[in-house]
Amino acid sequence: MPQPPAMNTPRDGSAPLVTVTADTLVAVDFGSRARTRPPGPYRRLFARPGTRAFTIGNLIARLPMGMFSVSAVVMIAGSRGSYALAGAVTATGLAATAVVAPWIARLVDRYGQARVAVPATLLAALGSVALLLCVRFDAPAWTLFAAYAATATTPNTGGMSRARWAHLLKGDADAVHTANSFEQAADELCFMLGPVLAAFLCGTFFPEAGTLVGAVLLVTGVLVFAAQRSTEPPLGGRTAATDAPPPLRSPGMPALLAVCLAMGAVFGATEVVTIAFADASGHRTAAGAVLALQAAGSCAAGLWYGRLRLSGSAEHRYPWCIAAMAALLTLPLLAASLTGSLLLLSAALLVSGMATAPTMITNMSLVQRRSPEGRLNEGMTLAVTALLGGIACGSAIGGWLVERLSPAAGYGVPIAAAAVALLVSLAARRGRNAARAACANSHPIH
C-alpha cells in the first residue's frame, strides 16, 4: 500500500515541504488514469437520454419471439397427440408472418411506431389467447390455424429498435455499428433464453403457460417501448411512402434478401439436425442446451464485434464474414461424423456460432443503408421475413436429409446454404463493381 507523502517542516517556520515518493507517484498516476479513462462504446451508447428505457421495453417484447413456436408445439402436441398438426400450425403462422409483417412495417414507417405497434401487438396477443382457448377446450383443428395466423400482426420490435438507433446516431458510423452489434447480440440472447423459458413454463406449470406468459411479456414490452416518444424516429409520411421506391426495388437489396434466405436455411437446418442428433444419441432433452451454446457463442462474438473500430466498407467485409461462417460450419459436421460425441458437437457449435453475429450485423448495416428514406423499418422487416422463410426451408431440407441418410450428414445442409450465401454476395459485389466501372467509362474525366 503506498505511503502518504512525508511532511517536513522547515526550521524557519515556512510552509512544510512535501517529499514525494515513488509509491506516491504510482498512486497519483493510477488515480488520474482511472479518472480520465474514456467510457467504452456501450456505455457511451446508453448514456444518451431515453435509450435505456426503450431498450428495456424492446428486450421484454423481443423475448417471446423465441417462446411462441416452442410453446405452441408443446401445447398442441401435448393436447392433440400430433406433432404433425403442431408443425403445420406453426408453419401456417410463419407463412402468414411472411405476408403480413412487411405490411405492418410499412404502416409503422408511415404512421409511427406507437400508433401502429400497440394495436398490432394487441391483435397478435388476442390471437395467442384464442389459440390457448381453442387448445384448452378442444376446438376443431381449423380454429388452431386461424388463431395462430392472427399472431402474424406482431410488429418487428428488433427492426423498430434499430430504426431508433439509426435516427439517434445519424452521422456517427462507429456508434451505429456498436448499436447494431448490441441489437444482434440481443437477438441471439432472446432466441437462446426464449425456448428454455417456454419449455420450463410448459413443463413446470401447465402446457398453456408458455403461450400465456409470452403474450403478457409481448404486450408489456411493446407498451413500455411505445411510451418512449422522445426517441421515436420521425414519420415517413404518405409522401415518402409514395415517392420512395419499395425497399425490394432498391439497388443491392434483392441480393441481400437472397443472402438472408440462405442464412435462414443455415439456422433452420442446424436446429432440426441438432435435435435429431441429440435424439439419436439418447440425449434429446439436451438439444436445447446444445443449441443455446451456439447462440451464446454468437452473442459473445456480437458484443466483441461491436467494440471494434473497423476500417474499410461493410460491402468489402460482408463476403469475408460469410466465408468465415461457412468455414466454421464444417466443425459441427466433423464433430458429428468423425466422433459422434454430443459434447464435442456442443463445442463445435459454440465456436461455429461466433461467426453468426458479425455476419448478421454487417448484413443489417447494409440493409439500413439500402432502404429508402422513410421506409427503413419496412426494409429491415423484409430481411427478417427472408430469414424466417429460410428457416422454414432449412428445417424441411434438414429433416428430409436426416431421415434419408443420418443426423451427422444433415450438417452438410448448413454448409451448403452458407456456400450459396457466399456465392450470392460475391456475385452481387462483382455486379456492383462492373456497374461502377461502366459508369466511370461513360463519364470520363477530362
Burial of 315 from C-beta contacts in 10 A (0-12 / 13-18 / 19+): middle
Q: In angstroms, rounded to a whole number, what is the distance separating the alpha carbons of residues 261 and 418? A: 10
Of 355, 364, 354, 371, the C-alpha closest to 179 is 364
- The CATH number given to 244-440 is 1.20.1250.20
Residue 32, pLDDT score: 47
CB 115 within 8 A of CB 101: no
Residue 292, pLDDT score: 79
Residue 224, pLDDT score: 95
Q: In angstroms, rounded to a whole number, what is the distance separating the alpha carbons of residues 374 and 107? A: 11
Q: In angstroms, rounded to a whole number, what is the distance separating the alpha carbons of residues 359 and 367? A: 12
Cα 293 to the center of its chain, rounded Å: 15
The enclosing H or E element of 167 equals helix 157-168
Q: 49-237 and 244-440: same fold? A: yes
Cα 319 to the center of its chain, rounded Å: 19
Residue 405, pLDDT score: 83
Cα 225 to the center of its chain, rounded Å: 17
Expressed in angstroms, the distance from the first to the final Cα of the chain is: 71
pLDDT in tens, the chain (446 residues): 455 555 555 555 555 554 555 444 444 444 544 455 677 888 888 999 999 999 999 999 999 887 888 788 778 888 887 767 887 887 788 888 888 988 998 899 889 999 999 999 999 999 999 999 999 999 999 999 999 999 999 998 988 998 899 889 887 888 888 888 898 888 878 877 887 788 788 878 888 898 999 999 999 999 999 999 989 988 765 444 445 677 777 778 889 999 999 998 898 888 878 878 887 887 766 777 787 788 888 888 888 888 887 777 778 888 999 999 999 999 999 998 888 888 999 899 999 989 888 898 888 888 888 888 778 788 888 888 888 888 878 877 888 888 788 888 889 999 999 999 999 999 888 877 666 666 666 555 54
For residue 19, list its beta bridge partners.
Answer: 6
CB 103 within 8 A of CB 130: no
CB 394 within 8 A of CB 417: yes
All three cell numbers of 210, joined, read 408458455
Residue 328, pLDDT score: 94
Q: In angstroms, rounded to a whole number, what is the distance separating the alpha carbons of residues 115 and 201? A: 32
Residue 9, pLDDT score: 52
Residue 29, pLDDT score: 47
Farthest CA pair distance, the chain: 103
Residue 13, pLDDT score: 52
Q: In angstroms, rounded to a whole number, what is the distance separating the alpha carbons of residues 71 and 203? A: 10
Amino acid at 303: L
Residue 391, pLDDT score: 80
Residue 25, pLDDT score: 46
CB 157 within 8 A of CB 62: yes
Residue 253, pLDDT score: 87
Query: Angle CA(70)–CA(71)–CA(74) in degrees, nearest 5?
Result: 85
Amino acid at 310: L
CB 360 within 8 A of CB 235: no
Q: In angstroms, rounded to a whole number, what is the distance separating the alpha carbons of residues 132 and 135? A: 5
Residue 144, pLDDT score: 93
Does the pTM exceed 0.95? no
The enclosing H or E element of 423 equals helix 412-442
All three cell numbers of 437, joined, read 466501372
73-103 b/e (C-beta count within 10 Å ≥ 16 → b)? bbbbbebbeeeebbbbbbbbbbebbbebbbe
R_g of the chain computed on alpha carbons: 26
Report the phi/psi class of residue 185: left, alpha or beta, with left for phi > 0 and alpha for psi in -120 to 50.
alpha
Tell whether domain 49-237 is in CATH 1.10.620.20. Answer: no
Q: In angstroms, rounded to a whole number, what is the distance separating the alpha carbons of residues 424 and 431? A: 10
Task: Using alpha carbons, list the distances in angstroms from residue 333 to 22, 30, 37, 420.
Answer: 58, 50, 45, 17
Q: In angstroms, rounded to a whole number, what is the distance separating the alpha carbons of residues 58 and 391? A: 23
Domain boundaries, the chain: 49-237, 244-440
Residue 125, pLDDT score: 95
CB 314 within 8 A of CB 365: yes
